[in-house]
Amino acid sequence: MAKAKRLPSGSWRARVFSYKDKDGKMHYESFTAPTRIEAEMKAASFAAEKHRRARHDLTVGEALDGYIAAKTAVLSPSTISGYVRMRNVRYAGIEDKRLRVLTGEDMQLFVSGMAMEVSPKTVRNAYALLSAAIAMYSPELSFKVTFPAKIRKRPVSPSDEQIRALIEAAPPKMKLNISLAVCGLRRGEICALKHEDIENGVAHVHADIVRDKDGKWIYKDTPKTVDSDRYVKLPENVLEMIGEGSGYVAGMNPDTLTTQFCHLRDKLGYNFPFHSIRHYFASTAAILQIPDIYTADMGGWRRGGSIMKTVYQNNIASMSAYYADKMAGHINEVIGS
């Protein structure tokens, strides 16, 4: 805050930096008032308005870049990587627009134009990043836009027979990785799992393989979410596939896993993605009548949002072990020896 000085006349004057000209000369604004407090308040008001105008003078592209940079230290590398990829391809029609002249029409045209090229989900994700960046620099701006209707997708869950067929036809490493997915592990969790994470038949799932902001695969010693850090009982057949050793169990990165799985899947004439095996895990748990809270714990999902479920509906240790055994026993039967 600018400090006011008393003039020979008895008034008070506060000076605030205004701008630097092309020759590098600094220019200041002066504010005079009968009292020191009044002069300093005028100067502070000018400085605040100058800062506000400067923030408003950012382009949409600059706001996006600033937002991503500000969040890099607190968001996961995979999230930042996703932001960077989206920033590079989704905002060409609006990135040069300045925040101070941005209108609701601009935002609607941006959404409508993108809706003709990509899915409704991608449109919403791109708009969410854009609105978050705008809110950080100009929180008073608010826009109401209409999004394309959501497309309802019916998740595909493979059958026991399809899982068996995949495992029987898969080479050893892919056989193991599919079996780990059947146990409820995500693709990145499978690739991040190490021999050292497994003790007494239980895997500590606590890490992920994700892309950094430069698109490179890295090991992240924190899970996708807080609830993803969990202990998963592995069936005997899966433990035999893993065997003794050290280092990574999967022996491949997520892209390689997906590529090899798709080749195997296509060979068998199936059309579901690798992630559908997690749907199989959850669906099978429901068929086996395993309560949701135990399924959520085994699969690393967040429990239901109500206070009853998150605070009062707690696991009973003996029942947790019972359902873990029940799930592992069923998987053992499906994947065979």
pLDDT digits 0-9 by tens, 185-240? 999 999 999 999 999 999 999 999 988 877 889 998 887 778 889 999 999 999 99
Using CA atoms, how far residue 294 sits from 226, 232, 277, 302, 323, in Å, is 16, 11, 18, 11, 7
**Rounded CA gap, 104 and 265, in Å?**
46
| Common-topology check for domains 60-137 and 160-335 | no
pLDDT at residue 127, as a whole number: 96
Q: Which CATH number is 160-335's, of 3.10.20.30, 1.10.443.10, 3.40.50.1110, 3.40.50.10330?
A: 1.10.443.10
Task: Specify the higher pLDDT residue, 223 or 242.
Answer: 242
Round to whole Å and give the CA distance between 27 and 29: 7
| 2-19 residue pLDDT tens | 788 899 999 999 988 876
Residues 263-275 have a mean pLDDT of 94
To which residue do tokens 């499906």 refer?
334
Question: What confidence tens digit (pLDDT) does each residue in 302-324 have?
Answer: 766 443 344 433 454 666 788 88
pLDDT score for 307: 39
Cα diameter, the chain: 97
Distance CA 18, CA 111 (A): 38
Mean pLDDT is lowest, of 69-78, 123-132, 267-276, for 69-78
Query: What does pTM read for this prediction?
Result: 0.66
Which residue stretches of the chain are H helix? Answer: 36-56, 60-71, 77-89, 104-115, 120-137, 160-169, 172-182, 187-192, 236-242, 254-268, 276-287, 292-299, 307, 317-335
pLDDT tens readout for residues 28-70: 888 899 998 888 888 888 777 766 655 667 889 999 999 999 9
Provide, rounded to the nearest whole percent, the portion of the chain with pLDDT above 90: 49
Buried b (16+ CB within 10 A) or exposed e, 267-303: eeebeeebebbbebbbbbbeeeebeebbbbbbbbbee
Measured distance CA(275)–CA(178) in Å, rounded: 10
Res. 283 pLDDT band, cuts 50 70 90: confident
For 44, residues 6+ apart whose C-beta sits below 8 A from its C-beta are 1, 2
- Provide the residue ranges of all domains of the chain, joining segments of one domain with +: 5-56, 60-137, 160-335
Structure tokens at 143: 């826009």
Q: What is the pLDDT of residues 165-184, one digit of tens each?
A: 999 999 999 999 999 999 99
Task: Look up the CATH architecture of domain 60-137.
Answer: Orthogonal Bundle (1.10)
**Rounded to an integer, what distance in angstroms lies between the CA atom of residue 169 and that of residue 202?**
26
